[in-house]
Amino acid sequence: MWSRSKRFVSVLVIALLAFGALAVGQVYDRNETLYVSGAAWGPPNDWNPFITWSKANTTGTIGYLYETLFMYDPLNDEFIPFLAESGEWVSDTAYEITIRDGVMWTDGTPLTAEDVAFTMNLGKDYAALWFAPMWNYVINVVAVGDVVRFDFTEEPLYQEFDNNLYNIPIVPKHIWDSKSEADITGGANENPIGSGAYMYETHSSDRNVWLRNDNWWGNDVFGVPAPKRIVDARFSSNSVALGSVIKGDVDLSNNFLPGIATLAEKGYVKTYFEGAPFMQAANTAVLFLNTTKKPMDDAAFRRALAYAINVDDIVRVAYANLVSAASPTGLLPSLAKYDDQAVIDELGWTYDPTEAARILADAGYVDVDGDGYVEAPDGSAIALEVTCPFGWTDWMESIAVISDSAKAVGINIEDVTPDYGSWNTALTNQTFDMTLNNWANMSNTPWTLYNLLFNHPIKEIMGSGNFGAYDNQELFDLVDALAAVPTTDLAGMQAVCSDIQRIMLSEVPMIPLWYNGLWAQYSDSVWTNWPVDGSNDPARLPTTWSGYWQLGGLLTLIELELANP
């Protein structure tokens, strides 16, 4: 018995020693590796660039791996030719893109105009792909030599099309044309072949590892991305993310960390701005009002609410100054040139409880039964709920402020936090009273925000915007008109936007409240030259969020430098 177990132990020891000898090259060199966090919500599940809603979990699938025709730099409002060398409207209904020469897929096959035309045509064949609606106004897409030609109907939606140019990822025809519909629309696409600056290396449930593609075409055009490897870590709680940044284990954290203002002021971490709001603005947090319910169907009530909400308190209390109040139009600072200041001066609002009370009283909302809360003009009691998903701590505190400031002017609104699933269903089925939402990314066009706010036509399920089902045909026509204005026609866009803003600010279908930050805190210990306000380099976005690589996020990586080479 004894000798047998002794023999077993010695075999085990020898085996382990042998394994130990194999262990070369499995540990990443700190000076070659960039550690990031804050993008992934869940374990990596697929590398299929057409399953857009899961791309947060494998951020980089579009950006590192698969690339788009253009990049759009929102801070400098500039389209940067990417896979496309150039693109131009040859007539009002035809667009031609010249594909860059010398681009290779990572399996060694050249990327050609054929691949681009193939990708675009997938949208025609499969209605379940997100860019399928483009084919409502595109007639055909063909490759001629190194040129891809798009032919349009009489009414192209220029705004959406431009948006698609930097959002549709190009896939290799020689691999994807043998895939079935189910594989294209829902395949996991393991071991993907792309054309981008980084290649898939490995993953586990709490990380994605990307390896630099040394044959990337962009090395000669933009420069070589500094980190050889990028490890994208997923943490299951904010306290872990915070600890990792402070320890210097993570170089760039894109998590929302509540106390970061204090840490930045003490020099533990760096942020884009040195003082408030510390972060760049990423999207607008909008309070959607369910206009199918009373009293939210009354514009006067909605307007009173807009005056009643103390946004400064949200900024101060819920965010500790990490955000700034939004323009009443909801447009991000990067799109401020589409704000019509005259309309804002005439119809805009700021926090003013006295004015809110006055509007309420004028519209017939008075406290009849003396409980401290106003009743509707028809005498019925008002008891409303403002919601956000449970666990979204910053929003939970924000709706508490909304509830408090509404009560201060006599509107009875309670803050309620359902689970994400039931919140989401209430959101899309108009069974909420009022709720927060911010689903419009930074964009080249105000149309992206308006497509969220005034999504139409009104249906039973409002799955992708206009959650309060605000119905105004005049406004919808204007949004459609904006979509059809060529993106080069700045004055034309501004004119339509002004009309939209006039309706929006007088009717108050929803209330834009503050700009959610592009949460980013970085450590200088290993990598430096992070984007900061006022540096000599062009402004960049320090983010790993999905959808932001093609907004110039990738260029941030190229500009990084080692602290101690």
Partner 1 sequence: MRRYFGRKLLIYLVTFFLAVTIDWMIPRFMPGNPVQNMLARASVRPEAAEAMYGYYTKAFGLDVPVWKQYLNFWVALFHGDLGTSVYLFPQPVSKVLRESIPYDIFLLLPAILLSWWAGNKFGAFAARTKRLDNTLLPIGYILTATPYMWLGILLAWAFGVVFDIFPIAGAYSFSMQPHWSWAFVWDVLKHWFLPFASLFLVGFGGWAIGMRNMIIYELEADYSHYMEALGAPRKLVRKYAFRNAILPQVTGLALQLGVIVAGALVTEVVFSYPGIGYLLLAAIQNQDYFLIQGCFLFIITGVLLANFLIDIVYVIVDPRIRRGMVGE
State which of positions 224-243 bind partner 1 (CB under 8 A). Answer: 231, 233-237, 239-240, 243
Task: State which residue, 301 or 467, has the beta carbon closest to partner 1.
Answer: 467
One of 16, 88, 191, 369 touching partner 1 (CB under 8 A): 16
Task: State which residue, 413 or 453, has the beta carbon closest to partner 1.
Answer: 453
How many CA atoms lie less than 13 Å away from 14 in the CB half-sphere? 6
The answer to whether residue 488 forms part of the interface with partner 1 (CB under 8 A) is: no
Task: State which residue, 372 or 457, has the beta carbon closest to partner 1.
Answer: 457
Task: State which residue, 419 or 561, has the beta carbon closest to partner 1.
Answer: 419
Site for partner 1 in 166-185 (CB under 8 A): 182, 185
One of 109, 219, 393, 425 touching partner 1 (CB under 8 A): 425
The answer to whether residue 459 forms part of the interface with partner 1 (CB under 8 A) is: yes
Q: For the beta carbon of residue 490, count every other beta carbon within 10 angstroms.
A: 12
Q: Are 161 and 136 contacting, i.e. CB atoms less than 8 angstroms apart?
A: no
Q: From CA 100, how far away is CA 81, in angstroms rounded?
A: 9
Place of tokens 């698969």: 66
The answer to whether residue 564 forms part of the interface with partner 1 (CB under 8 A) is: no
The answer to whether residue 477 forms part of the interface with partner 1 (CB under 8 A) is: no
The answer to whether residue 54 forms part of the interface with partner 1 (CB under 8 A) is: yes
The answer to whether residue 22 forms part of the interface with partner 1 (CB under 8 A) is: yes
The CB-of-220 to partner 1 minimum distance in angstroms stands at 30
Q: From CA 140, how far away is CA 149, in angstroms rounded?
A: 8
Q: From CA 510, how far away is CA 286, in angstroms rounded?
A: 7
Q: From CA 214, how far away is CA 225, in angstroms rounded?
A: 9
Task: State which residue, 268 or 351, has the beta carbon closest to partner 1.
Answer: 268
Site for partner 1 in 405-424 (CB under 8 A): 419-422, 424
Site for partner 1 in 117-146 (CB under 8 A): 127-133, 136
The answer to whether residue 35 forms part of the interface with partner 1 (CB under 8 A) is: yes
Q: Which residues contact 152 (CB under 8 A, 6 or more apart)?
A: 92, 93, 94, 95, 137, 138, 139
Site for partner 1 in 199-228 (CB under 8 A): 202, 204-207, 209
Q: Which residues contact 155 (CB under 8 A, 6 or more apart)?
A: 137, 484
CA nearest to 311, candidates 330, 295, 292, 336: 330
The answer to whether residue 80 forms part of the interface with partner 1 (CB under 8 A) is: no
Contact range with partner 1 by CB under 8 A, out of 17-25, 94-102, 270-278, 296-304? 17-25
Q: Residue 132, exposed/middle/buried by CB under 10 A (0-12, 13-18, 19+)?
A: middle
Site for partner 1 in 325-354 (CB under 8 A): none
The answer to whether residue 273 forms part of the interface with partner 1 (CB under 8 A) is: no
Torsion over CA: 134, 140, 143, 146 (sign): negative
The answer to whether residue 244 forms part of the interface with partner 1 (CB under 8 A) is: yes
